[in-house]
Amino acid sequence: MSTGVQVAVDVSVLVPAKDEADNLPMFVEQCAAALNTADFSFEVVVVDDGSRDQSATVLRALASQHPFLRIITHRRQCGIADALRSAGNAAVGEIFVFYPADLQYRPEDIPTLVDPILKGEADIVTGTKQGPYEKAFVSGVYNRLCRWLFGVPVADLNSVKAYRRDVMRTVPLRPNWHRYMVVIAAADGYRLTSRPIPLYPRMAGASKFDWTRIPVGVFDLLSVWFQLRFGRKPMIFFGIAGGALFLIGLLAGIVALVLRFGYGIGFRPLLNLVETMVISGIALFGFGFLGELIAGFREDNREMARQINMWRHPPHD
């Protein structure tokens, strides 16, 4: 469900909100104070992501007071990635800004993020957190791993960000993959830059982060790395691995034959090694061929989606 009248705007602020009833009034007021005098037109699209507090009531009251506010409602919690997707589908701006509603980031810094895109200097701008915060160690490890694996030239990937509308189309519809929007956009050739953004303590509500997200984040990180490195040519990975195992099996088989017929020595574990390596190598080759078929279908779907998006949102002269 959504409310609000669609009009042409420059910037759409996408705001996932889960149980943020205490923060939403001040957040919307700060948006009004900071953006009504900005050099660009704007809207604020808040996604009520299955809140169980009074967020829905608060948002309806705020929408009646602020014409720039639009509301999207999820019946259950879907997560930030799905909330951003829902907000992006409803938004009408050419520039999106991902901003949480917890007031740890202040709306007064949104023009700082948007400015390089409006000037044509970048396609995606990440905020570099300034000041102490609880998750500094985990965030630091994550950022260092991403810089090492993906070579992205920005210091903070897990923060607020501004990006062109078409950047959203590059991110797969996978839970929690909004964290990797920057590395996926960089792999697709989008220009990146960053700006320092102050981080403030929470004034109300509770953080949605807990330790269970750490192992999930690690596996997602490896999955994104594999997709970017081998997603379009899976045979490179599976073919090399399969060929290496097959070669080990072949060499072990030659050694087993020499031992058996040259020296009369039968060594059962060596025969088991031959069987395991050869079968594993053939299986990996099979996975590679299957992966190539899937990659081909995915490229066809990607091209079809690109054509549909160009039809729905033709480029401006």
Give the tens place of pLDDT for each residue, 28-79: 999 999 999 898 999 999 999 988 989 999 999 999 999 999 999 998 888 8
- pLDDT > 70 in the chain, percent: 85
pLDDT at 30: 94
Task: Report the 3 state secondary structure along 41-52.
Answer: CEEEEEEEECCC
Tokens matching residue 304: 């079809």
**Does pLDDT of 170 surpass 80?**
no
What is the Cα–Cα distance from 297 to 291, expressed in whole angstroms? Answer: 10
Q: Give the pLDDT mean for 257-280.
A: 80
What is the Cα–Cα distance from 291 to 285, expressed in whole angstroms? Answer: 10
pLDDT at 206: 59
Domain boundaries, given as residue ranges, for the chain: 2-229, 234-312
**Does pLDDT of 254 surpass 80?**
yes
pLDDT at 271: 79
| CB contact burial 29-51 (16+ within 10 A = b; e otherwise) | eebbebbeeeebebbbbbbbbbb
What is the Cα–Cα distance from 2 to 90, expressed in whole angstroms? Answer: 8
Q: How confident is the model at residue 2 (pLDDT cuts 50, 70, 90)?
A: very low
**Does pLDDT of 210 surpass 60?**
no
Write down the residue that tokens 């960053």 correspond to. Answer: 194
Q: How confident is the model at residue 314 (pLDDT cuts 50, 70, 90)?
A: low
pLDDT at 97: 95
Handedness of CA 168, 171, 173, 177 (dihedral sign): negative
pLDDT at 203: 72
Residues 6+ positions from 13 with CB-CB distance below 8 Å: 31, 35, 42, 43, 44, 45, 96, 97, 99, 107, 110
Taking alpha carbons only, the member of 146, 142, 140, 186 closest to residue 163 is 186
CATH topology of domain 2-229: Spore Coat Polysaccharide Biosynthesis Protein SpsA; Chain A (3.90.550)
50-54, 82-86, 90-94, 226-230, range with the lowest pLDDT: 226-230
Q: Give the pLDDT mean for 77-86.
A: 87
CB atoms within 10 A of CB 228: 17
Q: How confident is the model at residue 292 (pLDDT cuts 50, 70, 90)?
A: confident
**Does pLDDT of 3 surpass 60?**
no
Sheet holding 42-49, edge to edge: 2-3, 69-74, 42-49, 11-17, 95-98, 161-164, 124-130, 192-198
- Single-letter code of the amino acid located at 198: P
- Supply angle C-alpha 167, 172, 177, rounded to 5: 90
Tokens matching residue 158: 């897990």
Arithmetic mean of pLDDT over the chain: 82
Q: How far is CA 36 from CA 30, 41, 66, 91, 152, in A?
A: 10, 8, 11, 18, 34
pLDDT at 213: 62
pLDDT at 26: 94
**Does pLDDT of 205 surpass 60?**
no
Give the tens place of pLDDT for each residue, 111-157: 999 999 999 999 999 998 887 776 767 777 777 888 888 888 777 88
What is the Cα–Cα distance from 243 to 270, expressed in whole angstroms? Answer: 19
